[in-house]
Amino acid sequence: MSPSPYPGTDLTSANTLGLPCTAEHFAAPASLAELQAALAEARARDWPLTLLGGGSNLILPERLPGLVIRPAMATWWLEEGENDRVRVHVEAGVVWHELVMALARRGLWGTENLALIPGHCGAAPIQNIGAYGVELCEVLEALQVVDLADGREAWMTPQECAFGYRDSIFKGRLAGRVVITRLVLCLSRTARPRLAYGDLAGRVGKAPTPLAVAEAVCAIRRDKLPDPAVLGNAGSFFKNPVVEAGLAERLLLEHPGMPHFPQLDGRVKLAAGWLIDRCGLKGLREGHFGVHERQALVLVHFGGGSAAELLGFAARVASRVQERFGVTLEREPRLAGER
Ligand code: EPU
């Protein structure tokens, strides 16, 4: 397609929350050259830039000034390595879940626990997607970025990406400065199932395959998480909070059954969904938004709402948790335009 950005594009169906949004200009470059041309045009016209992937972890305002770019390069290929290792080269516009299922069908281990996470591959490193005991950073070997300021390409190692829990350098120092264009993942033909999380082991047989694990993960997610095609949502709306050991101990005295996960640094990760649930907010609906009835960590959009209303609703949920437990919840999806 032409790199020339076209004006007044409706992005309502391009974000899984289903928030109404119009981009002043929009481009979906299908090659690196088209991406670089779109960036050059934005620079020449002094347009602010917003990058979009699958729109599954993003809160969009009603109007986005300047240029919205959604990378549409979408091929991937395998490279055989040593010791049963297989490298997967994947471009930013590939749909993450489709890649995961294709790799699982080929009998490759590494990404099967990350099945059914919505979004595009290029966005996966930004929040270091994770589920069922596995994070993207464990299989990522390298990634390619293009500098928004000069269109130049560069490769980064996982160390340079500063990955953390739902975090990376792309949410910090490099936010709004680069676009991720390609990932290199390292998978294995040797069985290495990761089944310790929740009831995953109980759902797969004695000799699990990557496909069986991926299908079990899909079944668990479908049980708990709303399908964005049916009910607008951005997955977990808050991060699981990591608190000081003293606070966790005090809360455990009062709530011995509270889920808690000691961290290497001595702090303790709590389950935000459990905290919200215990405030009695599961299933709560206010205006156009609500707390999902099966997973309290997910805020849902019933249609007709706006980003401002969603942020107000989320702030009220967070303040109830703060009042009841003294725990601060941090928003997980990014707000477009926020630096
Ligand atoms: N819980 C409740 N009530 C709720 C929700 C959860 O009591 O309404 C309890 C659960 O029973 C469990 C604990 O809280 O004891 C944790 O719940 P769950 O296993 O559902 O996982 P989570 O911590 O709520 C995280 C990720 C999810 C990921 C799952 C599975 C974050 C912010 N969320 O949720 O990721 O799928 O673990 O690994 O880390 C996402 O990021 O969009 C997402 C869905």
- The helix or strand, by DSSP H or E, that contains position 321, with its residue range, turns out to be helix 307-325
Domain assignment present for 1: no
Q: Same domain for 195 and 248?
A: no
Ligand 1 near 50 CB (within 6 A)? no
234 alpha carbon to ligand 1 midpoint, in Å? 13
Q: Same domain for 152 and 263?
A: no
Mean pLDDT in order along the chain per 10 residues (339 residues): 69 97 96 97 96 96 96 98 96 98 98 98 98 97 97 98 97 96 98 93 92 97 96 98 98 98 97 98 98 98 97 98 98 86
331 alpha carbon to ligand 1 midpoint, in Å? 14
- Catalytic one of 24, 41, 153, 332: 332
User: What CATH number does residue 320 fall under?
Assistant: 3.90.78.10
Does the annotation mark 236 as catalytic? yes
- 166: containing domain: 76-224
Q: Which ligand 1 atom is at minimum distance from the Cα of 225?
A: 44
* Backbone angle region of 195, left / alpha / beta, with phi > 0 → left and psi within -120 to 50 → alpha: alpha
pLDDT tens-digit map of 94-118: 999 999 999 999 999 999 999 999 9
pLDDT tens-digit map of 59-79: 999 999 999 999 999 999 999
**pTM of the prediction?**
0.95
Q: Same domain for 179 and 93?
A: yes
Q: Same domain for 207 and 132?
A: yes
User: What CATH number does residue 142 fall under?
Assistant: 3.30.465.10
Residue 175: what pLDDT?
Answer: 95
- The domain total for the chain is 3
SS3 content of the chain, % helix, strand, coil (to 5): 30, 25, 45
Q: For residue 97, how many other CB atoms are within 10 A of its CB? A: 18
Domain assignment present for 95: yes
Q: Which ligand 1 atom is at minimum distance from the Cα of 198?
A: 19
40 alpha carbon to ligand 1 midpoint, in Å? 41
d(CA 93, CA 180): 10
Q: Same domain for 91 and 109?
A: yes
Does the annotation mark 319 as catalytic? no
Ligand 1 near 236 CB (within 6 A)? yes
Q: Same domain for 290 and 253?
A: yes
Among 174, 189, 224, which residue terminates a domain? 224
296 alpha carbon to ligand 1 midpoint, in Å? 8
Domain assignment present for 4: no
Domain assignment present for 306: yes
Residue 206: what pLDDT?
Answer: 85
Residue 2: what pLDDT?
Answer: 45
Q: Same domain for 176 and 106?
A: yes
Q: Same domain for 97 and 183?
A: yes
d(CA 236, CA 293): 13
